[in-house]
Each structure stands twice: as structure tokens, then as C-alpha cells.
Amino acid sequence: MKELRRSAALFYLIPALLLALGAPVRMQAQEHPSAPAEAAHAGTHDMHADSSHLMHADSAAAGHEGEMHEGEGHGAHACHFHADVHEDEYDATGTAFHHISDANVYSIGSFNFPLPCILYAKGHGWDVFSSSKFAFDFYGHGEGRKAYNQYVLDNGAVKRVQDASFPMGQVDLEGFVHIDSLIDGNKKEFAYACYGGQHYLLDAQSTADGGLFGGGMTSFYDFSLSKNVVSMLLITLLLTWAFFSIAKAYRNRTAQAPKGLQSFMEPIFLFIQDEVAKPFLGPKWEKFLPLLLSLFFFILGLNLFGQVPIFGGSNVTGNLAVTMVLALITFVVVTLNGNKHYWNHILWMPGVPAVIKILILTPVEILSIFIKPFTLMLRLFANITAGHIVILSFIGLIFMFGKMGESTGGFLTGTVVSIPLTIFLMAIELLVAFIQAYVFTLLTASYIGAATQEDHDHHAEKH
């Protein structure tokens, strides 16, 4: 079918846009460290030589509130790797956030596998290497025991040492230190790499969100194939193969009943066509059907892929960078295809007093142009992320009740409670995977339909 072949072709475009537009959310365009980091360095100059690379962020710079707390100098924050520390309590929060985060290692459960790192820093140049250079632990949180060309791997994420005196090449680390501090009333986390008995301040994981999502502007670009990127590429290849195979089956099996994968996909295809595209887009449904099918199957594929533990349980659609780009695609399509009636309705609604238009309606309508894709982004992100976290919380009951192996009775109780709840929630999440893909596609169709609807269609609906 023509629409099916066009939909398959669009699978090459959507991941390309995700990589081109979503990658900068993990990158930066600033030559210098972020403001808190600069302040951190400013606060180190007056400190003792033995602790010149470690400071408490409350004393980051003159003008910031607070002094360095007693005992928080060089010896107060001992260097260690997470895997070397015996934990008496199960860290449910850390485990959950490690699972849903994007990382420069591909983790399946607690097992980590290397991925390609493609990094660039101004004045430093390009570095292309495998994350195995960091000598990270195969089992655990993916902490690198070595630094490479001033880059380190902290909890699975590549970060860069801010101090230019840090040695190049591959060097052994002594561990990491993380300090939560208050700066101007805001809680900030500062990470340090320990080398040669000193603590070196690290940039955050490369982001360009201005701190909106908890990141900041960093001193390097990260073009690496992260866990989420690899998952998207795998799903893209799988769905492209599926679509082209089904299109070939239609050509070779003309006037025959569908079978195999073709029989599974055809009802879904017809559902999107008859229940989403035609009702919302009217006579223009065929033009936008490939986009709607691409969005639906791409989101559905990622949602389902993230629920399979043996594939790594990737949280791709629970990543704001990914959902932002998907929503941006909808925003661009709606904006470019909006007709005269659509823009006239937004900018100068007919039949309404001018004062009301200028003061109330026009600002609200203009604001709605940006609110719609924003809600698309947040809805998909929140629902998928929440599901992952709740499932992990139920699984964590086993370790919490068992007190990390100390209580057999608690372990058995946690298992009896956790397993049924987890299985039930995973069944719910399977339904949510389809619902969220459908809702995103439905709302996209409704926004496009509102933008392309002709004035005479609007009057016909009233009658």
C-alpha cells in the first residue's frame, strides 16, 4: 500500500530529527564552565593547598551565602567507587534514577556494556573512543575507574574535568565525590573526580537546557551513541524492516487475505486511518497519514521495547529530549500547514470586539500554539517515566523488606508482595504503551486538522 511505504520512509526522517534536534539537549554551546562551576573555582583560591580542588559549594564565591562547614575540607569527603562501598540499606531512589537515565553505557539490569563516545571540547578537539576506555564495572552503576583525555564516566554518564592541569591520556582514578550544596537558596550537586590525592571539579553531563531539566551549560559537546540513541536506532531498523516487508507482501499477495505480520499490522493501520486520520483531517487525511503512522508506530515500538528487561528496559519516551523533538515535529507541521482561516482565528478572531481580541483572546490563542506541543511532550514523558519508576519501586520492596539479605523472612514477604504487584503493573504498562502512542497520534491529528480546516468546513459543522 502506498501509505504504508511512505510511512516506512518517514522512519528514516524521525530518528534523524531526533538525533539532530534532540542531541543538543545533551550538548552545549558555551566555551566556559557554568556559573556555579566558575564560582566553585573562584572559591578554591583561598583554600589550603591540600584541598585546593575540593570546596563546599556554599562558599563557592564572594556574595554567595554561607561559609565552608567545619570538617568539609579535603578529608571530610572520602574518595570511593560506588561498587567498593558496602551498602546497609537499599537505595531505591538511586536505583530508579539509574534505570531511567540516559547513559554512555548500555545497561541490562545491573550489567553494563560499552558504547561509542564521540566528544568535542573547544580548544581540545575531538575524541572518539569506546566507553570501555573508562574501565567501568561490568556489574553496578557504570562508574569508570580510569579517566581518558580529561573525561570520566560517573554513574554511567560522561563528564569532563574542568581543571586543565588534569593529565591527558588514560589515568587511574581513586573514586568520586558528590556534594549537595545550597547556592542562592537552590540545591546543587557538585561532582569531583579523585586523582593523586586531590579532588577535581567535573562538568555536569553535557546538556543545553539552561538548567531547566536539572542540567546546565557544559564545556563539551557529547555526540555519543548513548543508551537511548542505540535503542532508537534499533527500533527504527526493526520498524523499517517490518514496514517494507509488509508493503512487499501487499504487492506480492494482491487480492489475498493477509497473513503473519501483515495480518497483525493491518488492523492497526486501518484503525489509525479510519478512526484518527479521516475524522480529524477530512479530505486531507491521505497527505498526513504517513506522518501519523510513523509517530504512532515509533512511539509504540519504543514504549514496548522499554518494557522488555532483556533488552535493557530503555526509558526512551520517558526522556524529555525525545518527547520534546516529537512534539516539535508536530509543532512544525501544524505551523507550516496552517491556512488563512486558522491564522485569522488566532490573530484576529472575527465577530469579537477589538478590545477583547487585543487584551484577552489573541494573547491566549498565541500562547496555545506553544502550550499544545508542550503538553504533548510532558504527557508522554510523565506517563512512561512514572510507569518505570513504580515498577522499580515494587521490585525494590524485595530488597527493602529483606534488609539487603539480612532478613530471610523479610525477603520472602517482599517477594510475595512485590511479584504480583509488578506483574499487574507491567500488564497495565502494556496497555499504557498503546494508549500513549494513540493519544499522541490523536492529538497530533486534531491539531493538524484544526490548522488545515477550511472556513466552509467550519460553517458546515455548525449546521
DSSP 320-384: HHHHHHHHHHHHHHHHHH--HHHHHHHHS-TTS-HHHIIIIIHHHHHHHHHHHHHHHHHHHHHHH
Under the banding of pLDDT at 50, 70 and 90, the label for residue 403 is low
| Grid coordinates belonging to 57 | 559549594
Q: What's residue 394's pLDDT?
A: 75
Structural Rg of the chain based on CA atoms: 26
401 or 34, which is more confident: 401
Q: What's residue 205's pLDDT?
A: 75
What does pTM read for this prediction? 0.76
- How far apart CA 433 and CA 440 sit, in angstroms, is 11
Q: What's residue 392's pLDDT?
A: 76
The answer, yes or no, to whether residue 101 has pLDDT greater than 80, is: no
162-166, 379-383, 386-390, 401-405: segment of lowest average pLDDT: 401-405
Q: What's residue 167's pLDDT?
A: 93
252 or 218, which is more confident: 252
Q: What's residue 96's pLDDT?
A: 65
Under the banding of pLDDT at 50, 70 and 90, the label for residue 41 is very low
Maximum mean pLDDT: which of 37-51, 216-230, 427-441: 427-441
SS3 label, residue 401: helix
Q: How many residues does the chain have?
A: 463
Furthest CA-CA distance within the chain: 83
6-15, 186-195, 276-285, 402-411: segment of lowest average pLDDT: 6-15
Under the banding of pLDDT at 50, 70 and 90, the label for residue 445 is very high
Average pLDDT over every residue of 162-168:
91
Contact 24, 320 (CB under 8 A): no
| Grid coordinates belonging to 35 | 556559573
Q: What's residue 53's pLDDT?
A: 39
Q: In sequence order, what E strands does 115-252 have? A: 116-121, 125-130, 146-148, 151-154, 157-160, 170-172, 175-183, 186-195, 198-201, 221-222
Strand 175-183 to 198-201 pairing: unpaired
Mean pLDDT across the chain: 77
Handedness of CA 422, 428, 434, 436 (dihedral sign): negative
Q: What's residue 234's pLDDT?
A: 93
| Grid coordinates belonging to 117 | 563516545
Residues 6+ apart with CB under 8 A from 372: 330, 331, 334, 443, 447
Q: What's residue 27's pLDDT?
A: 37
Domain ranges within the chain, ordered by starting residue: 2-15+229-462, 28-95+111-222
| Grid coordinates belonging to 408 | 530471610
- Residue keyed to cell 581540545: 124
Q: List pLDDT tens digits, range 334-373.
A: 999 988 888 888 887 777 787 887 888 888 888 989 999 9
1 or 328, which is more confident: 328
The answer, yes or no, to whether residue 321 has pLDDT greater than 50, is: yes
In the chain, DSSP finds a helix count (H) and a strand count (E) of 13, 12
